[in-house]
Amino acid sequence: MINNLQLLFENYQRCTLCPRKCGVNRSNGQTGYCGETDQLRISSVGAHFGEEPPISGSNGSGTVFFSGCSLKCYYCQNYQISFAGLGSHFSCEQVADKIKELVDSNNIHNVNFVTPDHFLPHTIRIVELLREKNISLPILYNTSGYQKLAAVKALENYADIYLPDFKYADPILAKELSKAEDYPERALNSLIEMVRQKGFMDSFTEKKTIATKGVMVRHLILPDQVQNSKDVLMTLFLEFGKNIPISLMSQYYPPEDLIDSAAFGEYKFLNRNITLPEFEEVYEHALKLGLRNMFVQFPQDFRSKKDKTDFVPDFIKDKPFQR
Ligand code: SF4
């Protein structure tokens, strides 16, 4: 992939932007696995306070949620936009204008592209437009981890912070739940490149209150999949050592629209929250490995909240994460 905007947009004509390599002509209105043409669709732009503290800070993170997804996990926590197609067409200029409004109204701490891989050329154009408006906020790519190495390389001059998931160490599980047997290998190779570019997140390395640069990995513990989580942590430890910044999340909830659907079928174990013993086994494993730069979302913190909307968005609302 050549880091030239026009050439990047030509990728839509025979799309191989992500590892699915569908080869469809999105510029002619065709859609591949992600479900999107080359017409940018966005489900939400707003200030979000539910990210980790150095990302959300006190003013919020300027999240841009892209419609569609190139991974589409069965248990997707944002199923309304990844599966159900929620969203509206936007131009890059309109997105940049909305971000400018958030800068003026909220003084947001960063621009946070959520699951943007299938619209990567558009994200680069949006960053260019923001720079033209003299908006120099950190640009954050919040990704599924299922990326082509070339795509991550193309972002080097446009990204400041990477917040990738590392969902699976087990290729069989990755195949069953996300139809992506190559996920562990892809995610690790992408992560190595991200760390090469930006290092570890500076809220840890330089004790900054608000992150401005670097990488933090997110891992969502799934019900009945403790061994996968332990293997993910071991993989990260072996590759990057004990200082790798990790956000260990326990907020999994079964997406209501997918429960009992045919897609869930044999994966009934996904039809519940994680248990406290499951969480504790994973957390203790992290401590035994000596992982020291962690944000940990304890299950009791999450479940004691009466209002879970910091974690469970409703994209039908104007403000999906309204507190
Ligand atoms: S971005 Fe979409 S169309 Fe392109 S390769 Fe990936 S899933 Fe297929």
pLDDT digits (tens, 9 = 90+) for 162-206: 999 999 999 999 999 999 999 999 999 999 999 999 999 999 999
Contact 186, 235 (CB under 8 A): no
Q: What is the mean pLDDT of residues 249-274?
A: 76
Atom of ligand 1 nearest to the CA of 32: 3
Closest CA to 15 of 1, 39, 32, 40: 32
Higher pLDDT, residue 262 or 223: 223
pLDDT of amino acid 320: 53
pLDDT of amino acid 307: 44
User: Where do the domains of the chain lie, and which CATH numbers do they carry?
Assistant: 5-303 (3.20.20.70)
**Structure-block tokens of residue 45:** 């732009």
The protein residue whose alpha carbon is closest to atom 4 in ligand 1 is 15
Atom of ligand 1 nearest to the CA of 18: 6
Burial of 261 (0-12, 13-18, 19+ CB in 10 A): exposed
CA of 315 to the centre of ligand 1 (A): 23
Atom of ligand 1 nearest to the CA of 16: 5
> Where residue 313 falls among pLDDT bands split at 50, 70, 90?
low
pLDDT of amino acid 3: 52
CA of 70 to the centre of ligand 1 (A): 6
pLDDT of amino acid 78: 81
Distances (CA, A) of 162 to 158, 165, 192, 295, 302: 11, 10, 11, 15, 24
pLDDT of amino acid 301: 63
Whole-number average pLDDT of the chain:
90
CA distance 280 to 192: 28
**Structure-block tokens of residue 148:** 């082509």
Average the pLDDT over each of 54-63, 96-105, 313-322 and give the range with the smallest value. 313-322
Which of 13, 20, 82 to mutate for ligand 1's pocket (most ligand atoms within 8 Å of CB)?
20
The protein residue whose alpha carbon is closest to atom 1 in ligand 1 is 118
CA of 96 to the centre of ligand 1 (A): 24
pLDDT digits (tens, 9 = 90+) for 72-88: 998 888 877 777 778 89
Q: Which residues line ligand 1 (CB under 6 A)?
A: 15-18, 20-22, 24, 26, 32-34, 70, 118
Planar angle of CA 224, 75, 254, nearest 5 degrees: 70
pLDDT score of 308 more than 50: no
pLDDT above 70: percentage of residues in the chain? 89
CA of 148 to the centre of ligand 1 (A): 11
Average the pLDDT over each of 6-20, 122-136, 282-296 and give the range with the smallest value. 6-20
pLDDT score of 34 more than 60: yes
pLDDT of amino acid 263: 56
Strands 111-114 and 139-142: parallel
The protein residue whose alpha carbon is closest to atom 2 in ligand 1 is 34
pTM of the predicted structure, to 2 decimals: 0.91
The protein residue whose alpha carbon is closest to atom 6 in ligand 1 is 18
> Where residue 254 falls among pLDDT bands split at 50, 70, 90?
confident
